[in-house]
Each structure stands twice: as C-alpha cells, then as structure tokens.
Amino acid sequence: MNWDSFLAYPLEDLPFVALVLIISFTVHEFAHAYSAYKFGDNTPKDMGRVTLNPRVHIDILGAILILIAGFGWAKPVLVNSSRFKNPRLMGIIVSAVGPLSNLLLGVLGILILLTLDSTGAMYAGSNGVNLAIERFLSYFIYLNFLLFIFNLIPLPPLDGYRIIQDLLPLEARVKMDQNVQWGVYIFLLLVFIPPLRRVTLDPILGWWVPLSHFFANLFQPLF
C-alpha cells in the first residue's frame, strides 16, 4: 500500500513532523495558558495547562489530522477573560501570543540553521545525522510559520477569530458568540472539501509555501 497517497507528508518524514508538532503545539498552548494566568485568570492553572508537558496540550485527533490533511489542532486553553483587568485588550494579547510563539519558533529555527551552517556544525556528523538535522529544521521552520498564519485566519476555533471578536463592539461580539457553532462547521467544510479549500484556505496559506521552502533549504547540506 502506498501510504504517501493518504498522508500530507512523506511516510519517512513523519517522525520529524510529529516531533515538530509536539514542540510547536505545546509552546503555542502554553503561551495562551501562561499569559492568561499572568493576567489574572486562574482557569488555565487550575486545569493544569500552565506547563510545557506535551501530554496536557496534544489532541490526538488533531495531531492525526494534521498528518493526514495538513491541518490540525491542539487542545484549546479555556480562558475566562472577565477576570482580566482589561478584558478586551488582554483577551487580544492572550489570543495573539499563541500564533506569535510559532512565529518566534520559526525565526529561532532559521537562526539555528544559520548558526550551524556558519560554524560548520551542520556538516560535522555523518551524512545520516546531518540529513536528520536538516530535515528536522526544515519542518521546524516550515510548520511553525504555517501554524502562525493558519491560526490567524478569522474562523472559529482559530485564534484569529477571537482577536477579531475582541476588536469589535459588544453587540457584534454577542452575535458572533451566537453563531460560533456554525463557524466551526464552515471551517471544517473549508478544510476537508478540496474545491472549497482551493479557493479559500489554500490561497491564504499558499503564498508562504515557496518562501518557507526557500528558508528551509537555503543552507541544505550537499551530500
């Protein structure tokens, strides 16, 4: 059976993709939980989410789907913004720090790649070790920038939806809350129906793919 036809990534690359997702999802959700806790909401702390332990953040179904469909999710952090001193401003910050953490991880990946290349450390090991490091960093850069952009799409349950909601007047926010369940269904339809995905999500995410491949392969070792 050709498993590659069922997967969003080559079968031999799944260990690298899985490791990157564990790190990226964990940091993303920890950023939400920690910022909410520091702003005065104990809900994430009480639910054990203010931690870098991946087991409390990873959603198995969401992780499997990102391997199959290229899109997925971690367990969302529940936040009670009414406990914030400035609920709207702090709510925006709490929502934004998740995607921003992925942006910073992507930049960190590029810096590590630059450092390894400039110092020659990228080429110090065996071909197998060098290839594994390059493959991991390539996915680390690509997936973190992808998660940054993807999570800013203004559809529930993504962070971009919450950011837009907190920017709007109260009346509009109430209407958004009343229709949030339909937004989730719309999001799932856009993800899993290829014709809809090609004219909606793919154009939003597609511009990043060539650029991310450029960064990820810029210092690819020659074996």
> Which residues are catalytically annotated?
29
Nearest to 101 by CA among 148, 35, 33, 56: 148
Asked whether the beta carbons of 163 and 79 are under 8 A apart, the reply is: no
Preceding amide of 99 cis, omega within 30: no
The alpha carbon of residue 223 and the mean position of all alpha carbons in its chain are separated, in whole angstroms, by: 31
Asked whether the beta carbons of 62 and 68 are under 8 A apart, the reply is: no
Asked whether the beta carbons of 115 and 81 are under 8 A apart, the reply is: no
Preceding amide of 157 cis, omega within 30: yes
